[in-house]
Amino acid sequence: MLSTYNIGGKSYRVLSSMIDVMRFLYDELADIYTQRWEIELGFRVTVVTLFVYSRRRM
Protein backbone atom coordinates (compact mmCIF):
# COMPACT_ATOMS: atom_id res chain seq x y z
CA MET A 1 0.00 0.00 0.00
CA LEU A 2 1.32 3.44 -0.90
CA SER A 3 0.40 6.15 1.60
CA THR A 4 1.14 9.86 1.25
CA TYR A 5 1.64 12.13 4.25
CA ASN A 6 2.17 15.88 4.40
CA ILE A 7 4.40 17.02 7.24
CA GLY A 8 5.67 20.55 7.57
CA GLY A 9 4.77 21.39 3.99
CA LYS A 10 6.69 18.40 2.59
CA SER A 11 5.04 15.38 1.04
CA TYR A 12 6.28 11.90 2.02
CA ARG A 13 5.31 8.55 0.55
CA VAL A 14 5.48 5.29 2.44
CA LEU A 15 5.24 1.92 0.69
CA SER A 16 4.27 -0.95 2.96
CA SER A 17 2.68 -4.38 2.80
CA MET A 18 0.86 -3.56 6.05
CA ILE A 19 -2.42 -2.28 4.64
CA ASP A 20 -4.44 -1.58 7.79
CA VAL A 21 -3.73 2.16 8.24
CA MET A 22 -5.66 2.28 11.51
CA ARG A 23 -3.51 -0.49 12.99
CA PHE A 24 -0.14 0.62 11.59
CA LEU A 25 0.07 4.37 12.03
CA TYR A 26 2.69 6.43 10.19
CA ASP A 27 4.49 7.48 13.37
CA GLU A 28 4.84 3.87 14.48
CA LEU A 29 6.12 2.77 11.07
CA ALA A 30 8.63 5.63 11.05
CA ASP A 31 9.90 4.60 14.50
CA ILE A 32 10.22 0.96 13.47
CA TYR A 33 12.07 1.93 10.27
CA THR A 34 14.45 4.17 12.23
CA GLN A 35 15.18 1.35 14.67
CA ARG A 36 15.78 -1.05 11.78
CA TRP A 37 18.34 1.28 10.21
CA GLU A 38 20.14 1.70 13.53
CA ILE A 39 20.50 -2.09 13.66
CA GLU A 40 21.68 -2.22 10.02
CA LEU A 41 24.31 0.45 10.73
CA GLY A 42 25.46 -1.51 13.77
CA PHE A 43 25.90 -4.62 11.62
CA ARG A 44 27.86 -2.61 9.06
CA VAL A 45 30.24 -1.27 11.71
CA THR A 46 30.75 -4.81 13.02
CA VAL A 47 31.46 -6.26 9.57
CA VAL A 48 33.88 -3.47 8.62
CA THR A 49 35.68 -3.77 11.95
CA LEU A 50 36.04 -7.53 11.58
CA PHE A 51 37.28 -7.13 8.00
CA VAL A 52 39.89 -4.54 8.95
CA TYR A 53 41.05 -6.63 11.91
CA SER A 54 41.32 -9.78 9.77
CA ARG A 55 43.37 -7.90 7.11
CA ARG A 56 45.85 -6.75 9.78
CA ARG A 57 46.54 -10.30 10.85
CA MET A 58 47.63 -11.40 7.36
> Each residue's pLDDT tens digit in the chain (58 positions)?
677 777 788 888 877 776 676 777 777 877 888 898 899 999 999 999 998 888 887 6
The model carries a pTM of 0.49
- The domain in which residue 32 lies consists of 2-56
3 state DSSP class of 30: helix
Task: Report the distance separating Cα 36 and Cα 33, nearest Å.
Answer: 5
Task: Report the distance separating Cα 27 and Cα 5, nearest Å.
Answer: 11
Q: Which residues pair with 12 in a beta bridge?
A: 5
3 state DSSP class of 9: coil
Question: Which amino acid is it at 46?
Answer: T
Number of folded domains that form the chain: 1
